[in-house]
Amino acid sequence: MSQTRQTPVEAGAIFEPYALKNGRGPALVITPSVLSSDFAHSARELAKCRRARARWVHIDVMDGHFVPNLTFGPPVLRKWTAAEPELFYDTHLMIENPLKFAEDFVRAGSSLLNIHIEATARPRRDLRAIKRLGVRAGVTLKPKTPVREILDVLDEVDLVLVMSVEPGFGNQELIAKTLNKVRELNLIRRERGLGFRLEIDGGINPETVALAAAAGADVMVAGSAVFRGGDVAGNMKTLRGVLSKAGYQTK
């Protein structure tokens, strides 16, 4: 495999906008959350994801202020993208003042930057600034934030992330009522003909992944459900199998 890092635009070619074809949306994406991986062997863990046919990986960036936890910054991401340059790095910025660090994360290899609506006073301006850096732009809702808070920017985003747990820590149970927001957003994009992908993060596992898909999510972030026991390939196969049995195509 080539060790030449793709440019953000090239990596973005992996991203397929939402569109109905023969009454169906695009193939579902399962994106392993690196937060649940073995940090002592990060390059090996990312390679496991690639070999398990994961095209995306989810990077949870936390600053200890916006959420009560600290994770990693651009220098760490730069090492990961160098090790596995062909993956799509779906970067979730759970941080205050996300634009302050946006360019650093793009230079480190992010393919998409996802900012919280709760962390910006001017979301349209910030989303446009991210796009000018040459990557995809997304917006995130915490579990208690209503969909109406992002209605004005849905025409601007490539992806909407619905948090189905309180952000900050992994291995939490899905908050069932957050699926109502997924349903609402799925209806809105169909009615308006919008192309944003609809991502869900928190408590996604073999018992919940089909429920999320039925609600309208088409990008599934899975952490412990993918990395549990070190069997990334087997765990990904299980998740894909559940979705296939429910009638969904995965990528």
Quick: pLDDT tens for 94-112. 999 999 999 999 999 999 9
What is the Cα–Cα distance from 22 to 100, expressed in whole angstroms? Answer: 42
- In the chain, where are the structural domains located? 31-242
Least confident segment among 65-74, 93-102, 132-141, 205-214: 65-74
Model pTM score:
0.93
- State yes or no: pLDDT of 73 exceeds 80: yes
pLDDT category at 4 given cuts 50, 70, 90 is very low
What is the reported pLDDT for 206? Answer: 98
Selected residue with higher pLDDT from 205 and 69: 205
Q: 3-class SS at 42?
A: helix
Q: What is the pLDDT of residue 170?
A: 65
2 sits in the region (left: phi over 0; alpha: psi -120 to 50; else beta) called beta
**99-108 helix and 74-83 helix, angle to the nearest 10 degrees:** 20
31-242 is classed CATH 3.40.50.300: no
Q: What integer pLDDT is reported at residue 24 of this predicted model?
A: 86
| pLDDT score at 243 | 98
Average pLDDT score over residue span 131-141: 97
pLDDT of residue 147: 98
- Give the largest CA-CA distance in the chain: 46
Selected catalytic residue, list 63, 158, 201, 218: 201
| Cα–Cα distance for residue pair 220/103, rounded to 1 Å | 26
Instruction: Find out whether 93 and 66 touch, Cβ atoms under 8 Å.
Output: no
158 as an active site residue: the answer is: no
User: 38, 60, 90, 231: which is the annotated catalytic residue?
Assistant: 60
Span 162-172, mean pLDDT? 83
- Among this protein's residues, is 104 annotated catalytic? no
Write down the H helix ranges in 85-122.
Answer: 99-108
Count CB-CB contacts under 10 A for residue 209.
27
Residue indicated by tokens 């910025």: 93
- Predicted local confidence at residue 22, as pLDDT: 82
